[in-house]
Structure 1
């Protein structure tokens, strides 16, 4: 590797634990190549001995939770069939979406692979026009003005909500757009300032109307939908909660500290019981130049180096060293809430839910009516959080109930998790299963705020919410292996946490393995299952590891809920989670090509009975892409995924993927379209493409 390439892509020789060096560069600003943000002296883990869906009938909650109440037919019982000796010989017949698992697909294959009897096609692609007068997509002549009226880049979280009264024929797609890759988006001779403006316009969020002829058939997006909307870098957001109006949020552009412009680095999200959409602002640090010297700068990975996007060359707010903009970076790192049915509504940023690298937020109603949201901070050695609303949910479809429920995330108490194990002395970092046959234990939710006030010594409420990582450090939270999606099951109330990986675990100077993170140099990740003691608002919980991921044929330090290892699909780097109508878990992955050598995919995991822990692969995405935003409408015979960054290691002159417009018999691009990779939301259904 040349020195220039090494400088540009410092993760190029370090990505065995996660993803491609290009993804590392563009998505998270090479976070794993830099200093670990959490250098707190927390005691390590081993040293510490059914919801009503409200006014809007949903097709499914996708990554927001189980769809047991939303799809009409009653959930079916788990299959009682005895396991077979061949992984790929038996279909899964306990759901209307029965399928035969696919074999893993080599990481160099540029195809979207689905089970026998299924087909796929895009719902919408990067650049597709969203409005009647939007220009058609033309990558050789792209402009910022055009991109503002088209579907954005790198779609991540998605959900599909049926429009009331449409009898299953109309719906809304909500999607966020995480980051961009200019090297493969447009020609290198494009004016640099225009290119940067296009990348700003390609971020944000989209709401898109969908139509179809009847239930069970694939969707088409509606270019003329009156609810279609793009949320851009110039869109105004209102802060809610205790930190709104804080001096820590005041800037030249927001002198009262109550509004922000745009949303950045949006990763996963969730759907609320009242039908709004949540999105998590994750890797916002890579968009800013800062002094890089304060404790908060260092804790959030902020530096004085030039950014990948170069927006600081165009607007002063992206360089917080400019007078009046020192707090601009504090406008990002929040949970965003959007009402997709009201195109005139102002989106919100909820300060009561804390500021960190949010993967997303997912909501469940507690038994007493309070709203509970679970959130992960996607950084090595960072934490798992819970938010409990101050007020209770009001059922019904009245205007008063709607208005009340849309304010439930404005106020509440914020907690961070501390795990305790029952076999701590047996954990040596090898991933060896304890003698009791489970990785398990208990834990506490440690309060950071109570009744709108800080309970962290030495920190005000504003400081706790704006610098939540620093607050969590002070209360001795457990350092985790990158909590990504955190999903409560609406059928059982259990919470599932995708810990994608942490290759620094156990290295000199870093936290050692513990029972909740049992492997040193954890390349493949694991999934935690949490049961609240006494309900969702409880301060105590029990936990176990559902999966310790990897390819069991190559790695003995794996665990699949007790299910035989020779009968599971290999899985690595769990990321986004969803549930089907039976309540079983579906996992999308991000990083498998760099760890187990296969393309990323979507996997179904049985959660109960004799097949608990059985992993079966449903689909595989094309080379160099990530599987995001899974939605499982199994009663409707449909599965959706957002395919992000296909062919990301290519260039304009040497593209490495043609997804989704493959050139071949019956798969040629539409007239006038270039054969370049386009991140897309894809639907999988029975039949032919």
Structure 2
């Protein structure tokens, strides 16, 4: 077993205080916004038949829980029936292959045949033997015509609006129609770290120019790239006709059932239909109709003077979304009154949405889709029903918040004509929004908060999708449909949704249809009167997170019923509280704080981490989700110290990752850099997108 490294930093999940400050406004140090008394998973199984007993009795079709939820079939068989075995992380047997150390070569799952990277704290991107890498694009690199050469000491808002933005997170790589070797990179820019960007930065007195640079460094970049004819290398194509920058001042259209609502109107937009900019975009997804979705996450930190609000109802609504205190961290309210909630109380309601952009039309107006609800969206990923309706899966990245899905009313149309594009452009504006409610199948007494597996050998159960709103109809007592969409967290509270450990990326497998959910961590679980451990969130003071696998009733994404299990319970493999789908624990890479998810062409799940609490730099991991090697976790790369792995894109030819906030270590600043990545000594530390590919022209993982 590898020796784990001493933990770096003292913040939850292993992040630095600097990252916590600028990325999420120190969310983990604020009061938990969810104060509802919803049942936890252990409460809702009282009196229910266990799935194990039901199967033994031959009740293969359905199991009825005390809540009235039912679950059938796929993914809901007990551990013993799948040969996973029980016991507290025994790491042996369970039908999996054995060998000495990690498997690689032909012993590993196809697509994962590489020698795992060891945990480390190096100040570089470390990739497996036989692979090479290249920085594709950095903060400040040119995107549009007229962009000057980047100079951190002479940066301007005008220059930044023409250059690649800061702290890239989500990455998509799309084909360019009619261009055989062209690929379109879409990256969002989640947040700015002003102390890392500006020499001599005074956090109490930022200049207007610094603030406007930060506005221009948020948003999106759409950037054409060109494939090399051999290998996976890409080269950017500045000034391409499709290149685009979207910033914190770009006009967005509010669409869907809440557009125009009184709660979305401001003095600058009395119609409640046009918003300037997008903030704190985290993960995202591509749609089957060719657009890109992204989630506005920690938007609350940009707004000031909540402490001056006197109306109790307004104050309660703001608190549920994490707004508190006086001046904001970045002091934007000094230069634009819309960030002062006492002057523009509805402006904050115009953030926290899923946004949709069309990367193939640089003149198009990006949209905020109100039908998908408002919360701290990590991202959104789409799967189609058998009849062509869009199903969007979403997580609310907050301790004790919820998992959601949306099903469109209309079907997607295929083709390239104008009427097809116009139809699909409205697809996410009408449908039904749901929130998830989980139940476990083990007695509550077997969930001890320490991670001990229950007697049936795994954490699993059933669940239901609870309706919140459909079009202009609310399904939540005491709330109008507009209120459900704008205050979706409160709607989830009212219907008793299950409190989860920070639901981040939610990704349906394109092969199996199973849905995987990254639950990053929750160090407040079971403390200070907070919700205790339950079967879906089985550890108190959860530092390392877990990955949940959800199988909808008969693998039908339109179903309101599902079965679930914890696929991974992350952390040190030597810790008995960890679990890797039953795979031998002495043969996996240590993994902590799962965040973004992706799939390769073989159906393997890839996981990037955020805030590794095991002491190593963050990394990207591949894991088999089926077959004899199911649950084998293999680390593909690590990023420089202080950085987080985002993105990722897994093609046959290459892997793309976003290296976010490199060098953000406590004590670091533009004047005192503690990293030399990516350009070496004496150069600015710059977030970037990195490409990795095999040296010999093979495919990834072959």
TM-score (structure 1 length as normaliser): 0.89
1:314 aligned onto 2:335 = yes
Q: Which residue of 1 aligns with 2:300?
A: 285
Q: CA deviation at 1:129?
A: 1.1
Aligned ranges 1:84-483 → 2 under 5 Å: 84-87=99-102, 94-95=109-110, 98-106=113-121, 109-167=122-180, 169-188=181-200, 192-214=207-229, 216-292=231-307, 294-322=315-343, 325-425=344-444, 426-483=446-503
Structure 1 gaps of 5+ residues are 1-11, 50-79, 664-673
SS in 2 for 1:469: helix
Contact 1:413 1:452 in 2 (8 A): no
> Within 1, Cα distance between the matches of 2:453 and 2:136?
43
> Within 2, Cα distance between the matches of 1:590 and 1:404?
37
Q: CA deviation at 1:687?
A: 2.2
> Within 2, Cα distance between the matches of 1:14 and 1:686?
37
Q: Which residue of 1 aligns with 2:17?
A: 21
Q: CA deviation at 1:97?
A: 6.7
TM-score (structure 2 length as normaliser): 0.87
* Cα distance per residue 1:343-377 (max 9 Å; x no partner): 10000000000000000000000112110000000
Structure 1 residues 625, 155: closer, same or farther in 2, change over 3 A? Answer: same
1:653 aligned onto 2:671 = yes
* Cα distance per residue 1:658-677 (max 9 Å; x no partner): 211135xxxxxxxxxx5121
Q: CA deviation at 1:402?
A: 2.0
Q: Which residue of 2 aligns with 1:683?
A: 691
> Within 2, Cα distance between the matches of 1:305 and 1:480?
29
Structure 2 gaps of 5+ residues are 1-7, 46-94, 310-314, 698-702
Aligned ranges 1:516-531 → 2 under 5 Å: 516-531=536-551
SS in 1 for 2:422: helix
Q: Which residue of 1 aligns with 2:64?
A: none
Q: CA deviation at 1:92?
A: 6.5
Q: Which residue of 1 aligns with 2:631?
A: 613
Q: CA deviation at 1:14?
A: 5.0
1:536 aligned onto 2:532 = no
Structure 1 residues 477, 353: closer, same or farther in 2, change over 3 A? Answer: same
SS in 1 for 2:628: helix
Contact 2:9 2:16 in 1 (8 A): no
SS in 1 for 2:260: coil
Count of aligned positions? 628
Q: CA deviation at 1:656?
A: 1.0
Contact 2:232 2:694 in 1 (8 A): no
Contact 1:26 1:181 in 2 (8 A): yes
Aligned ranges 1:587-602 → 2 under 5 Å: 587-592=607-612, 595-602=613-620
Contact 2:12 2:28 in 1 (8 A): no
Structure 1 residues 620, 436: closer, same or farther in 2, change over 3 A? Answer: same
> Within 2, Cα distance between the matches of 1:615 and 1:89?
12
Q: CA deviation at 1:653?
A: 2.3
Q: CA deviation at 1:215?
A: 6.3
Contact 2:194 2:201 in 1 (8 A): no
Contact 2:132 2:692 in 1 (8 A): yes
Contact 2:105 2:113 in 1 (8 A): no
SS in 1 for 2:23: helix
> Within 2, Cα distance between the matches of 1:225 and 1:115?
33
> Within 2, Cα distance between the matches of 1:340 and 1:273?
13
> Within 2, Cα distance between the matches of 1:97 and 1:687?
16
> Within 2, Cα distance between the matches of 1:17 and 1:121?
29
> Within 2, Cα distance between the matches of 1:305 and 1:473?
27
> Within 1, Cα distance between the matches of 2:443 and 2:305?
41
Contact 1:83 1:611 in 2 (8 A): no
Q: Which residue of 1 aligns with 2:586?
A: 566
> Within 2, Cα distance between the matches of 1:40 and 1:18?
28
> Within 2, Cα distance between the matches of 1:264 and 1:252?
20
Contact 2:296 2:355 in 1 (8 A): yes
Structure 1 residues 89, 210: closer, same or farther in 2, change over 3 A? Answer: closer
SS in 1 for 2:209: helix
